Amino acid sequence: MIYTVKISDTETELAKSLLFYLKSLAKSPEYSFLEIEQSNDTNLSDEIIEELEVRIEHFKKNKNTYDDWEDLKHKYLKV
């Protein structure tokens, strides 16, 4: 059986302490069964995530300036 533990907020002191402890255990021969993997669930870089967040905020603030998808679809696809 394999267990997965996710720590989503790694900036808090408690999370940092827990990660440090787990990493130190993983280095010990007695805990050879323990593996620590860092993953990014989105597989996107921090820069891309930041750019997407900026674009989302821009859209939210200016959504009335964009054409509706249904209007564009009818215009260009003649549907």
53 plus 28 within the same structural domain:
no
Domain count, the chain: 2
Cα separations in angstroms, 53 against 4, 33, 40, 59: 28, 38, 16, 10
Helices (H), 28-77: 46-62, 69-77
List pLDDT tens digits, range 24-68. Answer: 999 999 999 999 888 766 677 888 889 999 999 999 899 888 888
29 plus 60 within the same structural domain:
no
Instruction: Tell me the residue range of the domain where 45 lies.
Output: 41-79
2 plus 31 within the same structural domain:
yes
55 plus 35 within the same structural domain:
no
51 plus 34 within the same structural domain:
no
Model pLDDT, residue 57: 92
pTM: 0.47
